[in-house]
Structure 1
């Protein structure tokens, strides 16, 4: 079993996701109580991909999160730094241009994407600010970013229940359905350590994104943050 530490060394996180690749999508559906699919739908609506647009889907894993953009007619590049995840995705959708890449050093030219999105992956990146700046670099002026990430529930009583679920219920459930349950202990800890909604909005602004806003999903369990690259 591989479990990354919260200092998020890239090789540790990549190895951890390599281990969970086979059952990752199934495990997410179970642990999110079926909400994961609704969150993916909300991301697709927020990105609003149009036919012919180029969309970069970071932390795409097996490519499941990229499929809605294909349906919308966009050209999507799924990118992840877990080779195990990419291999699993290639088995399922061999036609997808799955690409290995580190979010802090993206292998793309400046200004080539109309939209960049990342779902449940930003908190696993070692340097959040560097990743947000790289997303800005590869987005065209006037282009957009959409970040879907676990966040802080807005209702205090529910926040307490949610925290208890993460640390007590999630590990045993993961042991039942995941190929690497220790990884989900790390994921629970990383969720608890992640900045809340206003703090992440501040990081986006510091990285150079404008028109930053967010919308809570499932009572703030997840938040959608959006931003626009300023026109040149």
Structure 2
């Protein structure tokens, strides 16, 4: 079994997600205590996909997140660099245009998409700033970005409890439901190591995005960042 390290070598991260692809959605549901379904709904509201729009769902995995966008009549491209995730997704949703791609070198032309979104994937990219610039590059002027990512709880006592859960309770829980529980040790470490809400907002602005804002979900366990391409 493969476990990535915090230097986030692309081949290690991709291999790790290949290993967990089969049970990934179930494991997320268990580990988040069902909150991941609520978070996906909030992402869908923020993206606000409309009929005939082109939407890039980056780090889409098995395309669970993409289905909501497709249901609006938008043309959705689920993109991921884990071939295991893409294969699993293709088995379930063969009609969707799954595309293999690295967030730092997206296989799309400039100014293609009306909206770009990435949920729980940006912190697994080795070069966050380059990925944000790539998302900017493939977005049409006036288009929007929505990033859903684990973040930092805003209430200090809850933050302490949450960090204890990440490092102590999450790995043994993952052992019960995941095909690669060691991967979830990395995921816990990567969450703890991730920038807080204002820091990520600053990086979005640095990549060129305007009207950057964020909203906390579940007390800041997750943050929803948004921006517009001028």
Secondary structure in structure 1 of the residue aligned to 2:60:
coil
Return the offset for 1:71. Answer: 0.7
1:1-232 aligned within 5 A: 1-230=1-230
Return the offset for 1:150. Answer: 0.1
The separation in 2 between residues aligned to 1:194 and 1:72, in whole angstroms, is 32
The separation in 2 between residues aligned to 1:201 and 1:72, in whole angstroms, is 28
The separation in 2 between residues aligned to 1:63 and 1:139, in whole angstroms, is 20
Return the offset for 1:93. Answer: 0.4
Give the TM-score normalised by structure 1: 0.99
Give the TM-score normalised by structure 2: 1.00
Structure 1 residue runs of 4+, over 3 Å off? none
Return the offset for 1:72. Answer: 1.0
Once the two structures are superposed, residues 99-154 of structure 1 have per-residue CA deviations (whole angstroms, 9 ceiling, x without a partner) of: 00000000000000000000000000000000000000000000000000000000
The separation in 2 between residues aligned to 1:71 and 1:62, in whole angstroms, is 16
The separation in 2 between residues aligned to 1:180 and 1:141, in whole angstroms, is 41
Once the two structures are superposed, residues 21-71 of structure 1 have per-residue CA deviations (whole angstroms, 9 ceiling, x without a partner) of: 000000000000000000000000000000000000000000101000011
CA root-mean-square deviation: 0.3
The separation in 1 between residues aligned to 2:208 and 2:105, in whole angstroms, is 17
